Chain A
Amino acid sequence: MGTEKTITLRINGCDETAEVPPHRTLLEALRGLGHVDVKCGCEKGDCGACAVLVDGEAVDSCLTLARSAEGREITTLQGLGTPEAPHPLQQSFAELGAAQCGYCTPGMIIASESLLRKNPAPSDDELRIALSGNLCRCTGYVKIFEAVQAAAAVMRQTGETI
Chain B
Amino acid sequence: MYGEFDLTIPETLQEAVKVLAAAGKRAVPLAGGTNVLVDVRSQRLAPHRIVDLGRIGGLRGISVEGGRVTLGPRTTISELLASDEIARTAPALGDAARVFAGQMVRNAATVAGNIACGSPAADLVPPLLALDAEVTLTGARGSRTVALCDYYTGYKADQRAPDELITAISWPVPVKGTFGSFYKLARRKGDAITVVGVAVGLGRKEGCCAGVRIALGSVAPCPIRARKAEGVLEGEAPTAERIAEAARIAAEECSPIDDVRATGEYRRKMVEVLVARLVNSAVQAGK
Q: What is A's interface to B at a CB cutoff of 8 Å? A: 1-2, 21-25, 28, 43-46, 48, 51, 57-60, 62-65, 67-68, 111, 114-115, 128-134
How distant is B190 from chain A, measured CB to nearest CB, in Å? 3
**Complex-state Cα separation, A25 to B5, whole angstroms:** 12
Assess whether B38 is interfacial by the CB under 8 Å rule: yes
Q: Mark B1-43, 1 if CB is under 8 A from A, else 0.
A: 1111111010000000000000000000010111001101110
How distant is A82 from chain B, measured CB to nearest CB, in Å? 24
Assess whether B102 is interfacial by the CB under 8 Å rule: yes
- Measured between beta carbons, the chain B residues less than 8 angstroms from A129 are 189-190
Q: How many pairs of A and B residues are in contact by the CB < 8 Å rule?
A: 102
How distant is B97 from chain A, measured CB to nearest CB, in Å? 13
- Measured between beta carbons, the chain B residues less than 8 angstroms from A23 are 1-5, 7, 40
**Contacts A25-B37, A65-B52; A111 near B6 (Cβ below 8 A):** no
Which of the 9-residue segments B63-71, B104-112, B142-150, B171-179 touches chain A?
B104-112
**Which of A1, A130, A132 is the most central at the interface, judged by chain B CB atoms within 10 Å of its CB?**
A132
Pair A128/B5 contact, Cβ less than 8 Å: no
Pair B5/A132 contact, Cβ less than 8 Å: no
How distant is A33 from chain B, measured CB to nearest CB, in Å? 16
**Contacts A23-B3, A45-B34; A63 near B102 (Cβ below 8 A):** no
> Of B2, B42, B107, which one neighbours A57 at CB under 8 angstroms?
B107
26 contacts between A and B (CB under 8 A): A1-B5, A1-B6, A2-B5, A2-B6, A22-B4, A22-B7, A22-B50, A23-B1, A24-B2, A46-B191, A48-B102, A59-B108, A60-B105, A63-B32, A63-B108, A64-B33, A64-B108, A67-B52, A68-B33, A111-B104, A114-B103, A131-B102, A132-B191, A133-B101, A133-B102, A133-B104
**Complex-state Cα separation, A22 to B36, whole angstroms:** 14
- Measured between beta carbons, the chain A residues less than 8 angstroms from B6 are 1-2, 22
- Measured between beta carbons, the chain A residues less than 8 angstroms from B194 are none
Interface residues of B in 75-113 (CB under 8 A from A): 78, 101-105, 107-108
> Of B32, B41, B108, B189, which one neighbours A128 at CB under 8 angstroms?
B189
**Contacts A25-B2, A25-B37, A128-B190; A133 near B105 (Cβ below 8 A):** yes
**Complex-state Cα separation, A111 to B5, whole angstroms:** 30
> Of B52, B54, B105, which one neighbours A45 at CB under 8 angstroms?
B105
> Of A51, A62, A65, A134, which one neighbours B7 at CB under 8 angstroms?
A65
Pair A59/B107 contact, Cβ less than 8 Å: yes
**Complex-state Cα separation, A131 to B5, whole angstroms:** 33
Pair B107/A134 contact, Cβ less than 8 Å: no
Interface size class of B (residues with CB under 8 A): 20 to 34
How distant is A34 from chain B, measured CB to nearest CB, in Å? 18
Pair B190/A132 contact, Cβ less than 8 Å: yes
Assess whether B48 is interfacial by the CB under 8 Å rule: yes
The list of the 9 closest CB pairs from A to B, nearest first, reads A133-B102, A132-B190, A22-B7, A23-B2, A2-B4, A132-B191, A57-B107, A129-B190, A60-B104
**Which of B3, B7, B48, B101 is the most central at the interface, judged by chain A CB atoms within 10 Å of its CB?**
B7
How distant is B108 from chain A, measured CB to nearest CB, in Å? 5
**Complex-state Cα separation, A77 to B216, whole angstroms:** 41
**Which of B6, B33, B54 is the most central at the interface, judged by chain A CB atoms within 10 Å of its CB?**
B33
Of chain A, the residue at the smallest CB distance from B191 is A132
**Complex-state Cα separation, A111 to B101, whole angstroms:** 14
Pair B38/A63 contact, Cβ less than 8 Å: yes
**Complex-state Cα separation, A159 to B257, whole angstroms:** 51
Of chain A, the residue at the smallest CB distance from B102 is A133
- Measured between beta carbons, the chain B residues less than 8 angstroms from A58 are 103-104, 107
Pair A57/B78 contact, Cβ less than 8 Å: yes
How distant is A162 from chain B, measured CB to nearest CB, in Å? 16
**Complex-state Cα separation, A53 to B52, whole angstroms:** 19
**Which of A43, A57, A59, A134 is the most central at the interface, judged by chain B CB atoms within 10 Å of its CB?**
A59
**Which of A51, A65, A129 is the most central at the interface, judged by chain B CB atoms within 10 Å of its CB?**
A65
Assess whether B141 is interfacial by the CB under 8 Å rule: no
